[in-house]
Amino acid sequence: MENIRKDAASSSGPTDWHSIDWKHVMRFVGKMQLRIAQAELVKDFRRVTRLQRSLIRSWQAKALAVRKVTENQGKRTSGIDRVLWDTPEKKWNAIGCLHLKGYRARPLRRVWIPKANGKERPLGIPTMRDRAMQALFLLALEPATECSSDPNSYGFRKRRSTHDARSQLFSVLSRKVSAVWVLDADIAGFFDNINHDWLLNHAHMSKVTLKKWLKSGVVDKGQLRRTEEGTPQGGIISPLLANITLNSLETGLARYLRETLGLKPAASAKVNLVRYADDFVVTCSSKELLETVVQPWIEEFLRERGLTLSKEKTRIVHIDEGFDFLGWTFRKFQGTLLIKPSRKNAKAFYDKVKGIIADSLAVPTSTLIQRLNPVLMGWARYHQGVVAKETFSKLDHLIYWRLMRWGLRRHSRKTSKWVYDHYWLGAGSRRQFGGRGVDRRGDAVRIHLYQLADTKIVRHVKIKGDYNPFDPAWEVYGERLRVDRMSQDIWDIQRFKLWAAQDGRCAHCQQEIDVAEDGWHDHHIEPVQLGGSDALANRVLLHPVCHRRIHALGLEVAKPVPARGL
């Protein structure tokens, strides 16, 4: 560790966490990942291994790995050692700890997460060091894995989402001549049952290191238990290992149908497989083909990996009957495919809202609204690309009566009319549940509860199945896709204007801002406390780590060039 610091200081490099030049780090790692992908595409596997080893040993990749595990949602959750890297000094020291010599993975800390059906799901939490080591290997593995992934696999991959999976299903089911039978598949205990031997033989990484993660054991209720199968669901590399396990499910099925039965799956039999993580569906024009050929082949494919289909949840259905996938119901009504929020998903959402209201009986109205609005907006925007207006209106009605009961409990001696007049304030030509809050300056403002029915229906444009974010040939398409996605993302119009004015890059490090992966911070160039305004000309968007660096080192941010119309 001391040698690393001396080398950094002697070369005028960073001397602490805040002095790291993240622009240089991101550029170095990005170039190495591009080289790995190019070698993988031409099947130069020796060069792939050499480049991966070089990236894993680099100081820049280690710094980025520490940043990833200290900036994500699990940064405040510790492993069995109860250690957190929550200060700049700890993060800086952690970079020097990421070396393979003498490395041993610690057991996972088992916690139980409640599921929608009342059961609990096990979650294994590695230590911070183990998470950082996994993030380090992830940087090297992801470019190679992306090159061999199925075109219609959308889970845990850059720029891909559940909405892309939904759009692909719409394209293969919506036409009059589309497939009418669907295999709605569910893998029983996917993460808990992956065969270790198969994974060790097929994951192109250090088998010694991977075995340490897989065999690390788990501490559950104070007892250490061995892990002979499965991957930890709390590990940062687990989603990639899951994709490696199920890769070639789509392409392998198509090859089997073509070579064994002489079928062109998408053309004649209309066999299309769409997968998101371990959830997938298969369309087909024939129920018999699904039962006698497709499902048996899938079962054999999974058996080699230690997996099986759930007998209770796996079923073959007609499209007129409909099926649920990723929170939506896909069903044809008189030949027209309609995609709506599923009843199960809507009920889980309403139960969550109901719980928030019940737990907020004694809080100010503005606090209740601030708790509810992110939940309402997030759920509405998840479903804004489907036929959801009727569901939105129904839930708005249910939430109205839940809030009315909340008001009557707070004011047990008042009438319903008094509660309505007191809490439902004027908002243009209508009345909305509202209260009085304060803005950044401390001035009183009126805030209103978000209405689900106000959500605009925005159709999602699906990503191209062959898109590879690590292939330079897709760079122009990736830039256009990034702009289109950001314009429809969860940002309000002002922040999107800032993002567009900055060409989608952080105003400090000039690297891309990816909301889903990196997050963002709306920074005032002239602080509000010193008289700065909320005007767009006084604001820039930054990465959270860049924002902390600016305040820690007292740096200044130049004003961005304003976009047209600002």
Q: Of 121, 147, 173, which closes a domain? A: 147
Q: Where are the alpha helices (DSSP H) in 247-329?
A: 249-260, 287-289, 295-303
Taking the C-alpha atoms of residue 352 and residue 356, their distance in angstroms, rounded to an integer, is 6
pLDDT value, residue 440: 60
Taking the C-alpha atoms of residue 133 and residue 127, their distance in angstroms, rounded to an integer, is 10
pLDDT value, residue 357: 97
Handedness of CA 172, 267, 275, 316 (dihedral sign): positive
How is residue 215 written in tokens?
Answer: 């065999």
**Residue 374 in domain:** yes
Handedness of CA 283, 284, 287, 291 (dihedral sign): negative
Say yes or no: 521 and 545 in one domain: yes
Say yes or no: 186 and 103 in one domain: no
CATH of the domain at 305: 3.30.70.270
CB of 250 closer than 8 Å to CB of 301: no
pLDDT value, residue 146: 94
Taking the C-alpha atoms of residue 324 and residue 311, their distance in angstroms, rounded to an integer, is 17
Q: DSSP string covering 192-222, please?
A: HH--HHHHHHHS-S-HHHHHHHHTS-EEETT
Nearest to 99 by CA among 66, 73, 147: 66
CB of 112 closer than 8 Å to CB of 46: no
**E runs forming strands in 319-448:** 323-325, 328-333, 336-341, 424-427, 430-438, 444-448
How many CB atoms are closer than 10 A to CB 76?
Answer: 8
Taking the C-alpha atoms of residue 423 and residue 431, their distance in angstroms, rounded to an integer, is 9
The pTM assigned to this predicted structure is 0.85
Taking the C-alpha atoms of residue 538 and residue 54, their distance in angstroms, rounded to an integer, is 42
CATH of the domain at 533: 3.40.1800
**Residue 351 in domain:** yes
Taking the C-alpha atoms of residue 526 and residue 504, their distance in angstroms, rounded to an integer, is 22
Say yes or no: 76 and 172 in one domain: no
Distances (CA, A) of 54 to 32, 136, 418, 480, 485: 9, 12, 70, 31, 33
Taking the C-alpha atoms of residue 215 and residue 233, their distance in angstroms, rounded to an integer, is 14
**Residue 201 in domain:** no
CB of 248 closer than 8 Å to CB of 256: no
**Residue 350 in domain:** yes
Helix (H, G, I), strand (E, B) or coil at 527: coil
Taking the C-alpha atoms of residue 396 and residue 459, their distance in angstroms, rounded to an integer, is 22
State how beta strands 108-114 and 218-220 pair.
parallel
**Residue 30 in domain:** yes
Q: Of 275, 307, 340, which closes a domain? A: 340
Give me the tens of pLDDT residue by residue for the chain, a chain 566 residues long: 334 343 443 346 788 899 999 989 999 999 999 999 999 999 999 999 999 999 999 999 999 999 999 988 888 889 999 999 999 999 999 999 999 998 999 999 988 887 766 677 888 899 999 999 999 999 999 999 999 999 999 999 988 999 999 999 999 999 999 999 999 999 998 988 999 999 999 998 999 999 999 999 999 888 898 988 888 778 899 999 999 999 999 999 999 998 888 777 666 678 999 999 999 999 999 999 999 999 999 999 999 999 999 999 999 999 999 999 999 999 999 999 999 999 999 999 999 999 999 999 999 999 999 999 999 999 999 999 999 999 999 999 999 999 999 999 999 999 999 999 999 988 778 899 998 876 666 667 788 999 999 998 888 889 999 999 999 889 888 878 877 776 665 456 666 677 777 777 888 888 887 766 667 777 878 775 555 676 777 888 888 888 888 878 778 777 655 444 43
Say yes or no: 156 and 277 in one domain: yes
- Residue 139 DSSP class: H
**Residue 208 in domain:** no
Helix axes 59-71, 544-553, angle to 10 degrees: 100
Say yes or no: 97 and 39 in one domain: yes
Say yes or no: 114 and 159 in one domain: no
Handedness of CA 408, 414, 418, 423 (dihedral sign): negative
CB of 304 closer than 8 Å to CB of 310: no
Taking the C-alpha atoms of residue 520 and residue 499, their distance in angstroms, rounded to an integer, is 10
Say yes or no: 45 and 137 in one domain: yes
Say yes or no: 375 and 496 in one domain: no
Distances (CA, A) of 165 to 98, 148, 183, 229, 376: 36, 18, 15, 29, 23
Say yes or no: 255 and 309 in one domain: yes
Q: Of 114, 129, 147, which closes a domain? A: 147
CB of 76 closer than 8 Å to CB of 150: no
**Residue 211 in domain:** no
Q: Which domain holds residue 140?
A: 1-147
Nearest to 88 by CA among 29, 158, 15: 15
Count of domains observed in the chain: 4
Say yes or no: 34 and 61 in one domain: yes
| The amino acid at 31 | K
Say which residues have a Cβ less than 8 Å from residue 125's Cβ, sequence separation at least 6.
Answer: 74, 77, 78, 79, 108, 109, 110, 111, 232, 234
**Residue 200 in domain:** no
Say yes or no: 166 and 273 in one domain: yes
Say yes or no: 170 and 286 in one domain: yes
